[in-house]
Structure 1
Amino acid sequence: MPTLPPERGPRPATASHQHRQVAESFGSDAERYDRARPRYPRALVDRIVAASPGPDVLDVGCGTGIVARQFQEAGCRVLGVDVDARMAGLARQRGTDVEVASFEAWDPAGRRFDAVVSGQTWHWVDAVAGAAKAAQALRPGGRLALFWNAGQPGPDVAQAFAEVYRRVLPDSLAARQGTVSAVDGYAALCATAADGIRKAAGFTAPEQSRFDWEQSCTRDEWLDQLPTQGAFTRLSRDELASVLTGVGAAIDAAGGGFTMHYATVAVTAARTGTA
């Protein structure tokens, strides 16, 4: 059984860019977040790099540097921006330069980038103000690329997990897992991001894409990742312990592991203009 993260307060009823305390809760166990969170398809990274006019990348909400390192491995120079100094500190230790600020308040100071990317984070940014700031930071022809991993196990495992959540957290979003497609859940985030790009102006029409892939998970690997997910980061220690016990038993009943089916969904647009 993995160790529990530090005690946290109650989760607010809604989660959006207006609830910075939720976004900042991920840094309470930055090492676990960096170790356990899934990466992103190389095909997505390669497509963004190929569509960008150069190698300079700004990673918004870079966290511990998971996305930044993937772009560095593809030959890019990456600067990260993150609101959480704890996450930023770990990213720096692992080779990414990071400036600590909310993206809306961050100052480009005249710097321009060939791509502005954001993995699993843009829903914590005001969609219109964030797109406007990205337009300010991008060179003409530069790419804004916003993406999320939508993951779901097979139906039997998903139902077993949902039963645990309904028992332990009956009024939570997690309790509806197993009945709602993960991709459908992220479609609303993509729609909000695309609408923000259109309202901010300065971009071509936003385009959406999807990359399907799978990852095998052992019991211990999944119990390590679960506390880093937004539905669970602000649970009490007792609530989280009950969730981990129940989910662990469900994975044991499934043979000690399962396959996670991921769809990485992305919204991209190109900076227009000549200056």
Structure 2
Amino acid sequence: MTFAWARACGELRRYDAASVLRTLKTFKVHKSQLVVYSMLVSSPRANRLTPELKLFAREISREGNLPVRIRSRMIDCFQLDESSVPNLSKVQSYVNCFAKTRLKNNGNLDALADMIGSAVFTGKEMEIQAFTFGGNYDAEGRLVIGDGFDGDPFFAGVLTKNLLYRLDRPPATFVFYMDATFKLNQMGYPVFVCSISDKRRLFCLVAIFLISHRTAMQYYDALMSLNTVYERMTKKHLELKFVMGDADDAQCNAFKRVLRETSECVYLM
């Protein structure tokens, strides 16, 4: 008894062909006298995530890589192929679980608000203890961070007392920098950095702000809130002589509204 071969598909790449073959049932053929029958054999066990692959996935996921990218890098770094690398669904399940439980990447705005609110500035912090601050608080004194949409942009600042005390010096002895950097977080929000440099040309961080929009109002809130915290800590107004930024109109407008109202300084670009 014979069977004719039927063409299922053709002109496939090697990886695609391997994927198609894995979906086909596996049969084991036995011969008994003149009767041919088939016995269904269980499919081979799927490749599992070894401890080495799990460690690799955790390290790469901290960089914000997606599961499909992590799986591709597994193939390159461990010299695997499509037949030996764990399937994408298994990598997705492990990476997403790690991101939610360990990296707090769960998209829960309430949990994020609680975490930021628990570290809000009170004045009782240690010199090197990080605290959060901003320009909008509710009736209970909790920091309002926003949801990231146009009508309610996200905004939160982070600093320590030691960092802020770097501004407590003669204003003519340093240059104050303000600039926005990108690709530092998974949401793609710009990070607004405030820093200074002195005659030794050292870069000294003062404060960072995570903002969702690069608008004049958000820059204004950042500078105004920084000035407010400085006044609460030092009992003095923030005085700047030289300020360096870029040609961003939003940044320039915020600078004119805040810094030129509190001190006479020169804006450098």
More strand by share: 1
> Structures share a fold, TM > 0.5?
no
More helix by share: 1
Q: Give the TM-score normalised by the residue count of structure 2.
A: 0.25
Q: Give the TM-score normalised by the residue count of structure 1.
A: 0.25
